[in-house]
Amino acid sequence: MECLNLQDRLEDEGVAEDEIIERVSKLRTSLRASLSRTDQEGRISKSSRQKWKPHQVHEIAHAKELENHRMAKALGISEETRPAE
């Protein structure tokens, strides 16, 4: 979406087509790089998770715990809620 917004804005400004392509390409590369890194909240992107070795079970478990906590928070599920039996 950001790439399209940039492209539209540059076209409206009358920037040359070659320059538009170059700037959008740089933005796309930057966005992809940021997706592959861990963000401030401790989330680990799918591409980063795939690079983990099988012996890193503690790191994987910690990342999953953070992911589950974020999901529960987003869904409004209290930590005291227990699954139905």
Dist CA 65 CA 71 (whole Å): 10
Is 84 found in the same domain as 69? yes
Is 76 found in the same domain as 46? yes
- Residue 20: domain span: 1-35
Is 21 found in the same domain as 45? no
The total of structural domains in the chain comes to 2
The arithmetic mean of pLDDT across residues 17-44, rounded, is 75
Is 24 found in the same domain as 59? no
Is 24 found in the same domain as 46? no
pLDDT for residue 33 is more than 80: no
pLDDT above 90 coverage of the chain, percent: 7
Dist CA 29 CA 31 (whole Å): 5
pLDDT for residue 50 is more than 60: no
Comparison of pLDDT for 66 and 79, the residue scoring more:
66
Is 48 found in the same domain as 19? no
pLDDT for residue 64 is more than 70: yes
Predicted local distance difference test score (pLDDT) of residue 37: 57
Predicted local distance difference test score (pLDDT) of residue 61: 84
